[in-house]
Chains A and B, each alone.
Chain A
């Protein structure tokens, strides 16, 4: 057994009982990266020197007998839209190709405090906009299960890194499914927290009222451990919840007898690959056999979720990305005669196609003529969708659906058929609209490719998700399967 293929909690235990050092763990992971990264392409930047410095200090502290937390000495990969002080944060955009943040994101501070070792920054769709990581300005990332297929997106690099054992866990960001969808496609656990549970400070904003940072993990236990370190109030983020958080590890190894599970029928409707539907329903059977009550329910507003999502997120993106103007940092065109040309050329040359598409969408829907018709109505429907979920969670502990309607596509497939990609968001975007937490957990394979099951709960209902997911994982072995590389 190679060290790199162990889970976070396994490697933590080995370090705690003195079997191995943090440096050895790091050696193993960087060796793995050396072996497979050429095939996968998960990383944009590797931070080897920095990582070894941290590993040495962790080892020194451990030798001194210091009691260290779960994440001490654990290598982690970070999506390249999360600010890391002194380390390039490119958002996979030509616009920020050489941008080095002067500050750490809140989650990075937390990881550093916990002793986790940032080993590199991972690839993504430019500014987190996309479903396949193909919109990166720098490289493509391949799915470890099939190198001809995409890893999903936008956090494709973070998902592929964990699936290929190039990191023990990683951070992604989820605006409309960007953690859960690649987690499903890469056969690992991905978690999108309650909106406001994890500070967005330092996350380069795509759509502020949707974005959440969350982890990719090798199993549910790892996921619970990581959440413990990411959650917490941050006064620098006004939307950060002022809550006290329970120890999510307490939700592990729990009986789920009597728990109520709802299956929203709109999430199993036409457009969902029948094999995926069957795998998810088989998964639900497992839970039913463990004593959970399962019922079909209806969330009729689901059909509005995709347009609501695109209207609001594009509007916020239009505004959030306006700061990339070539004036203070980032890309500046070489060709300009005046201020107008400086703006137009820098932005035309610096942004990719998908980003421009979203900016234009937002530019259009926010004009004073269009605002009421698009944005105002979308905000109203967002409230209705939230209410619908609130009502459902009055009755059910969790809702379960497929994470994504299709398995990982081949390169180029999505750009050929854009509507597939957009309509496929139907299972993931309502969760961001409602601001609730959801996990994607492996639930089987379709034609040799991983399939994910999505478990949702009410805002701050993380523990219920972990409970159900861990029960499922204990009674299945999908998470133990590894891609052959």
Chain B
């Protein structure tokens, strides 16, 4: 049987407003436990919430960037449930009237553009963090520093058809939120969290299959892997004639499997009702338009501009614009550079390779874009060979030193002085009379040997193109 996979994502992004969602505590990751909290975000009796206007502004920014309708009237609701990290025993969220709805996001799959619907974006507050004791400690502690940190929840339509599409969607979404400068989007630290709903159905069937919800994916790769696992699990069960249980499952990264958390029968009734301590959120059109006007350039626009302005291929541009940081790095390097395509090759090649290998962020890379630009210049000018340049690059991100300094320190400066190379080649020809004769008899591979000998004699520093040219001249 052929199956079709249906995926929808719920993404929570912590917003980096200065203060928390409903109190004046500083919104900051980390910090000594329970130092960044107050009666409001710890749910003390009598304390009342006050909505942070910046939170609404950031959410509207996200809504506009994701082509949503912005509700001129929306409200907050209480989502009631008990858990020690939730001090009021309810979360202030939005239930039936979200701030933004009916949006979309374009992703590129196999070179083709695909539009993914965004059902809604609503605002809510984060909970505290449980610190579970070790085996010998029979208690848990709670840190309320994160309690009341503003969040947006972005819910997609079930438009994604493969784990890869889900990953591309999340990657694109993450990029946009970063471009908007409203969230740090660090999946490892939990400032971007993603839950996935997945179901499969026989191709041609109209109704959706039974879905499962997957939680605890801490990276883009984990999202794809978890969904691939779950997709196969669904298909296997259905092929064997079984039925899928509607449930929430947790991704176990170490084991590479999903594990059942709870079935729908045990699901909570959150007893939503309008939050009586807050007034409705009423927005003015002019305010929304002023936010729209101030939106930064977003990945799609930037991609088009890079193609046009720097003459790099569409493929390069789409990779370079995935994150704001990378696109800024490229642009800082390519702006005014003679060879933007070489810059693109370097950024997509060496820069991304090192980031991936070392698992580091761009800003941890210790290389200024201008320095990379000059490194590329050195290659173009023949001062460095490509291999030499790669060695210099390695040293640059380790030491933070400039390429010009490193070329000499590492002794990699190519000899491009024609006179010096002629002397060198003459000497090699004298010492290798036999190869010269072979070449003259028509054995063309003797030339390669002679080039090698010349390079060896220059300790690898001679410009190979020059050697080639001079050798041919002298032998003819």
Chain A residues close to B by CB (< 8 Å) = 82-83, 89, 91, 96, 99, 101-103, 105, 200-205, 207-209, 235-239, 315-316, 318-319, 322-325, 327-329, 339, 343, 363, 366-368, 371, 375, 379
- Tell me if B101 is interfacial: C-beta within 8 Å of chain A: no
Q: List 24 A-B contacts (CB under 8 A).
A: A82-B46, A89-B45, A103-B44, A103-B46, A105-B46, A200-B48, A201-B46, A203-B46, A204-B46, A209-B276, A236-B48, A238-B49, A238-B277, A239-B276, A239-B279, A316-B273, A319-B273, A322-B82, A323-B88, A323-B89, A328-B42, A366-B273, A368-B269, A371-B273
Q: With A208-B276, A236-B50 known to touch, is A102 a contact of B89 (CB < 8 Å)? A: no
Q: How far is the CA of A235 from the CA of B22 in the complex (A)?
A: 12
Q: How far is the CA of A82 from the CA of B46 in the complex (A)?
A: 8
Shortest CB distance B278–A (Å):
5
Q: Which residue of B lies closest to A366 (CB)?
A: B271
CB-defined contacts of B90 to chain A, threshold 8 Å? 319, 322
Q: Which residue of B lies closest to A375 (CB)?
A: B273
Q: With A201-B48, A327-B142 known to touch, is A239 a contact of B277 (CB < 8 Å)? A: yes
Q: How far is the CA of A383 from the CA of B194 in the complex (A)?
A: 40
The 8 Å CB contact of B87, one of A105, A204, A238, A323, is: A323
CB-defined contacts of B84 to chain A, threshold 8 Å? 325, 327, 339
- Tell me if B78 is interfacial: C-beta within 8 Å of chain A: yes
B78 and A319 form a contact (CB under 8 A): yes
Shortest CB distance B399–A (Å):
51
Additional A-B contacts beyond A83-B45, A105-B46, A323-B89 (6; CB < 8 A): A202-B47, A205-B46, A238-B49, A238-B50, A366-B271, A371-B273
Q: Chain B binding site: helix, strand, loop or mixed by DSSP? A: loop
Q: How far is the CA of A39 from the CA of B87 in the complex (A)?
A: 40
Shortest CB distance A273–B (Å):
34
Shortest CB distance A325–B (Å):
6
A367 and B271 form a contact (CB under 8 A): yes
With most chain A CB atoms within 10 A of its CB, the pick from B78, B142, B273 is B273
Q: How far is the CA of A405 from the CA of B472 in the complex (A)?
A: 118
Q: B40-56: which residues lie under 8 A (CB-CB) from chain A?
A: 42-51
- 0/1 interface trace, chain B 34-69, chain A, CB 8 Å (1 if under): 000001001111111111000000000000000000
A363 and B271 form a contact (CB under 8 A): yes
CB-defined contacts of A101 to chain B, threshold 8 Å? 39, 44-46
Q: B86-135: which residues lie under 8 A (CB-CB) from chain A?
A: 87-90
Q: How far is the CA of A445 from the CA of B273 in the complex (A)?
A: 44
B45 and A99 form a contact (CB under 8 A): yes
Q: Which residue of B lies closest to A82 (CB)?
A: B46
Q: How far is the CA of A99 from the CA of B46 in the complex (A)?
A: 12
- Tell me if B80 is interfacial: C-beta within 8 Å of chain A: yes
With most chain B CB atoms within 10 A of its CB, the pick from A204, A207, A322 is A322
Q: Which residue of A lies closest to B89 (CB)?
A: A322
CB-defined contacts of B48 to chain A, threshold 8 Å? 200-201, 236-238
A83 and B46 form a contact (CB under 8 A): yes
Q: How far is the CA of A319 from the CA of B80 in the complex (A)?
A: 7
Q: Which residue of B lies closest to A344 (CB)?
A: B82
Question: What 9 A-B pairs are tightest by C-beta distance, nearest first?
Answer: A322-B89, A366-B271, A208-B276, A209-B276, A204-B45, A202-B46, A83-B46, A323-B43, A323-B88
Q: Which residue of A lies closest to B42 (CB)?
A: A328
Q: Which residue of B lies closest to A329 (CB)?
A: B44
Q: B263-289: which residues lie under 8 A (CB-CB) from chain A?
A: 269, 271-274, 276-279
Q: Which residue of B lies closest to A343 (CB)?
A: B82
